[in-house]
Structure 1
Amino acid sequence: MNTADILIVGAGAAGLMAARELANAGKKVIVLEADNRIGGRIYTQHDAVTGKHIELGAEFVHGDLPVTLGLLNEAGIPYRSASASMVQYNEGVFSEDESFIEHWDLLIDKLNSLQQDTSIEELMLKEFPGDEYNRMRASVRQFVSGYDTGDPQKASCFALRKEWQSDDDNAQHRVEGGYVSLMDFLARECRAGGKILLNTIVKDIYLEPGKVSAITVGGTAFHAQRMILAVPLGVLKAGNGQTGAITFYPPLKAHAEAIQQMGFGAVIKILLEFDEPFWYSKQTEERIGRSLDQMGYLLSGEEIPTWWTQFPEQSSVFTGWIGGPDAEAKKEMTDENILMQGLQSLANIFRLGVEELQQRLKTWKVVNWTAKPFTQGSYAYDTINASACRRTLNTPVDGTLFFAGEYLYEGTAMGTIEAALTSGRDVAEVIQDTISG
């Protein structure tokens, strides 16, 4: 009963994609998921009364990404544009500069001329040390921390160069009904030839060529000829004794070293539903001296620096976001304290009292992904050694254990659902080639 052709640990996007591909190829697949739901860092919450949904995790399709959009089209799941104007708030002033990083062209020139990789922090301190670059350095740090959820002292210049030169800010999408609808589609396809078990925490993995066993916290054993390990990188980095940590027998020395050298970010997401979208109101326009009726994204220097709306929908949900080292520093904070930091940030930006915002707040949710034991962070970012580490982790162990996840993706859409889906698809192809070969 607990035997399969292939065991998959993790029912996030990578694991479900691999399960779907292998089940469709006629393989008996068992997916073991530690959490009480599928999706991993995709977490859509529906309101049964209103029929509306909110994304507690991944929210956007960042670009016209072929695997993600191809699957959505195959499943008949509609999606809509999330492209909108980006507004900056600095020292009491709102602006919509095309380039929100000062000296952007100069920075790109320096990155293009770079012959040896270094961290973005080292590059800035070496090439842009003067006071005239203070705002530029602060903006770069905020972008790397916020968008990439990375540590600027570790983030690779080569990787950022590739990412920034490939960005298409005009192509942003949201999935109608939420990202979980795509996960449900993959799960249905997987269940046609396999099964998904929730609340199944794998703690030990025993390996030998052609045979692998997973032992759960409850002592249940699962066996297969091959395994795909599709848990987040943060879980793989977890030390023995931490909830969700996995121990290998025998130890995987090279793979363990590669895992520790890779970058994995921190993030906290704050969802606030107010009585109305006050940021679009005439009263706000009069108070701050300008209209924000086209605003989709808001960047600031506040404690919770990044915010976005549901534009073009006139939703009363405002979403806050803090990533990188600043989010890591808040890992142990209570949700209530993080909420108050968010409200204070909005009060400063919109020149309102915190008490008024509290009165207008209908519901709220703080999602501290770094504190969640089966995630332990946000998504991967490239360190200087990331490419070499990926080569190690993309090498199967004895043709038996395979790794999958967004952190193993080599393209320009790092840290996205596209990266996870691509990795899951690719590892399924490798396994099928191994079997047929």
Structure 2
Amino acid sequence: MNTADILIIGAGAAGLTAAYELANAGKKVIVLEAQDRIGGRIHTHHEGASSKHIELGAEFVHGDLPVTLGLLNEAGIKYNPASASMYRYDQGKFTTNEYFIEHWDLLIDKLNKLKQDTNINGFMLKEFPGDKYKELRASVRQFVSGYDTADPQKASCFALRKEWQNEDENAQHRIEDGYCRLMNYLANECKANGGEIYLNAIAKDIYWEPDKVNVITADGITYHAGKIILAMPLGVLQAGGGEKGGITFHPPIKTHQEAIQQMGFGAVIKIVLEFDEAFWENKQTEAMAGKSLKSMGYLFSEEDIPTWWTQFPNRSTIFTGWIGGPDAEAKKDLSDNEILVQGLQSVANIFKFSIDELKVRIKSWHVVNWTAKPFSRGSYAYDTVDAPSARGILNTPVDNTIFFTGEYLYEGAAMGTVEAALTSGKNVAKLLINSCT
């Protein structure tokens, strides 16, 4: 009958958590997922029949995060420490995490004194002008673009101040066999409690009135419910109704749609390279670098693909590249092969290889251009100056009928993480359960 108490659009971390909680509470749930898999921006890829896996999307648990670790413990899924040394490659030299950003303390001091929010780019130009602070401005831009995948011309100073004051650099974890184990647990628990999950179901039109929703998919199937949760990525919600993955509301939900456009959504491209050996650990590299890189977890550079990491402390031949923010947005329309070449050239420049030498050493490669994918359209959210008020609107349901969930609605310090998505999913489920009692 395609009828449920609650429809959920999107089977990523937030949508699956909401489905898991609601089904467990006795609600009839149907989840519609546009892709041919669950997980959203979590995508664990298994190489052939081997047990080896590669994280094409979310990879780390960034801190001792209560909801994520609580669900992993509940599911009996093991996770391991992933803390590692940070290195920087600059002007032919490798420096360890003793590397520091000059004038950083002054930056934090000025941010703490800021009374009215503004974007970080404008703040840096005003407070740190001239050649004296050129490297500081460049470092802040690289950090905001790389780690937050944000546009510095839009990213909120207040949000970055909060983030930088709550960093827990020592607590990092990886999930054994990959993040999708947790997604599968949530999906299986939802199904065990009567929930249904449909893949390749692209929601296109939502016709609604209070306590009544009809969703029509791209293939013409209609689903019915009393309530709906929109659990798609913010970038998809920001797309127009005529774009692939975009949704049209009948009637429009003007205030909420305006709030969606006021929030920031980042851009990212991830490159996963598997080589024939971990050459960054060998004697030749040690001689070239003047030090052992065996404990290297993260490597930052000024190369075209600037950020790289290993699987340390696990011994692995996988080397992962990352570019975010406006620089990733600028590469959105490149082919995977073009991005691969840029990645290989960046690695070649750092480790003093020719690109042809690297090409013959590759066993497998993956380029994941999340910004170009129609059902993600980017990486994760970041706060603009208008985001707090917009978040307040989106955390308020439309006529107790249309609800929103996703990492972009999270209020805590772990913004943009899987923890944020899981927390938002739990919160919207609780809101719905309470509203239906």
Percent identity over the alignment? Answer: 70
1:47 Cα shift?
Answer: 2.1
In the alignment, which residue of structure 2 is the partner of 1:41?
41
1:359 Cα shift?
Answer: 1.1
Once residues 320 and 38 of structure 1 are traced to their aligned partners in structure 2, the CA distance between those partners, rounded to angstroms, is: 24
For residues 2-401 of structure 1, the aligned pairs below 5 Å read 2-98=2-98, 100-192=100-192, 193-401=194-402
1:13 Cα shift?
Answer: 0.3
Unaligned runs of 5+ in 2: none
Once residues 132 and 330 of structure 1 are traced to their aligned partners in structure 2, the CA distance between those partners, rounded to angstroms, is: 31
Amino acid at match of 2:299: L
Once residues 379 and 276 of structure 1 are traced to their aligned partners in structure 2, the CA distance between those partners, rounded to angstroms, is: 32
Q: Is the 8 A contact 1:320 1:342 kept in 2?
A: yes
Q: For residues 91-139 of structure 1, give each alpha carbon's deviation from its aligned partner in whole angstroms, at most 9, with x where no partner exists.
A: 1121124454321111110111111101111111011112121111111
Q: For residues 181-234 of structure 1, give each alpha carbon's deviation from its aligned partner in whole angstroms, at most 9, with x where no partner exists.
A: 000000011102211000000000011001011100011100000000000000
1:288 Cα shift?
Answer: 2.4
Once residues 398 and 189 of structure 2 are traced to their aligned partners in structure 1, the CA distance between those partners, rounded to angstroms, is: 27
Q: For residues 22-78 of structure 1, give each alpha carbon's deviation from its aligned partner in whole angstroms, at most 9, with x where no partner exists.
A: 000000000000000000000001124321000000000000000000000000000
Q: Is the 8 A contact 2:88 2:99 kept in 1?
A: no
1:353 Cα shift?
Answer: 0.9
2:413 maps to 1:412: yes
1:313 Cα shift?
Answer: 1.1
Once residues 284 and 99 of structure 2 are traced to their aligned partners in structure 1, the CA distance between those partners, rounded to angstroms, is: 29
Amino acid at match of 1:133: Y
Once residues 172 and 97 of structure 2 are traced to their aligned partners in structure 1, the CA distance between those partners, rounded to angstroms, is: 19
Q: Is the 8 A contact 2:7 2:30 kept in 1?
A: yes
1:332 Cα shift?
Answer: 0.4
Across the aligned residues of Structure 1 and Structure 2, the Cα RMSD in angstroms comes to 0.8
Q: Is the 8 A contact 1:101 1:140 kept in 2?
A: no
Amino acid at match of 1:195: E
Amino acid at match of 1:170: N
Amino acid at match of 2:338: N
Once residues 340 and 44 of structure 1 are traced to their aligned partners in structure 2, the CA distance between those partners, rounded to angstroms, is: 23
Once residues 207 and 99 of structure 2 are traced to their aligned partners in structure 1, the CA distance between those partners, rounded to angstroms, is: 51
Point out 4+ residue stretches in structure 1 off by more than 6 angstroms: none
Amino acid at match of 2:18: A
Once residues 49 and 405 of structure 1 are traced to their aligned partners in structure 2, the CA distance between those partners, rounded to angstroms, is: 33
TM-score (norm 1): 0.99
Once residues 341 and 7 of structure 1 are traced to their aligned partners in structure 2, the CA distance between those partners, rounded to angstroms, is: 42
Count of residue correspondences: 436
Residues 1:99 and 1:283: Cα distance change in structure 2 (over 3 Å):
closer
Q: Is the 8 A contact 2:204 2:241 kept in 1?
A: no
Amino acid at match of 1:182: L
Once residues 241 and 210 of structure 2 are traced to their aligned partners in structure 1, the CA distance between those partners, rounded to angstroms, is: 25
TM-score (norm 2): 0.99
Q: For residues 141-184 of structure 1, give each alpha carbon's deviation from its aligned partner in whole angstroms, at most 9, with x where no partner exists.
A: 01100100000010000000111110101000000010000000
Q: For residues 265-297 of structure 1, give each alpha carbon's deviation from its aligned partner in whole angstroms, at most 9, with x where no partner exists.
A: 000000000000000111111122221111000
Secondary structure, counterpart of 2:360 in structure 1: helix
Once residues 140 and 13 of structure 2 are traced to their aligned partners in structure 1, the CA distance between those partners, rounded to angstroms, is: 30
Amino acid at match of 2:42: I
Amino acid at match of 1:150: A
Q: Is the 8 A contact 1:88 1:100 kept in 2?
A: no
Secondary structure, counterpart of 1:61 in structure 2: coil
Amino acid at match of 2:75: A
